[in-house]
Structure 1
Amino acid sequence: MATKLSTIVFSIVVLHLLLSAHVHPIRLESPAPQPQPQPQPPQSQPSHHNSSQYGTTEGSLQPQECGPRCGDRCSNTQYKKPCLFFCNKCCTKCLCVPPGTYGNKQVCPCYNNWKTQTGGPKCP
């Protein structure tokens, strides 16, 4: 009889624990914090430029704009990799890329005047 009673009490305790865990689940881990949106800094665009001259005057580009400008500049060469490498390097320093695929370097003196060790033009 004592064994039956202890089995019944044990069963009731286990049942109670199961039901309370189902109603109020136990969380072993804390919830992950939700990512908060970061405010974007305002992008200032030079207001003193003519849209046809934008990016072709020294300092008128943002560094992230160099890739597309250099892609256009190097589009007609058969030496794409070195052209893109040096164009991006020059653009990052000068923040401008001359218009067209060749020449026109006079609109960007920094780009035009940067030379290699042997005195040749560094920027394509």
Structure 2
Amino acid sequence: MQTSPPLTAQQLAAFSSFAQTLADQVRPLSRQWFRHPLSVDTKADESPVTQADREVEAALRAAIASQYPDHGIFGEEFGEVLVEAGKSLTNTVSRAPMTRPVAVLLGMWIGW
């Protein structure tokens, strides 16, 4: 497996700033689902996924591809669509592992 050279302090600062920008961009998208009914689908690996998960990942992928077209992207919901040999870096997009506990608790609380 080929690894990338260590990042410089300047690169780390730029990526950190971009990560904050990404969070700011998808926050409204995430919030629109807050306190709204969500259907929870079960993926092939039996983990849950919601439309909110898919929409946020799609938005993150689009923003990353626009800002860093030479980077690969590996995402939980849409796989390795943009991971290619020779890409300088690969960005990993994954939601916090809370969908299942939240879905179970919400289901118990609202009587699903």
Same fold by TM-score greater than 0.5: no
- Normalised-by-shorter TM-score class: under 0.3
Q: Which has the larger radius of gyration?
A: 1
Q: Give the TM-score taking structure 1 as reference length.
A: 0.20
Q: Which has the higher strand share?
A: 2
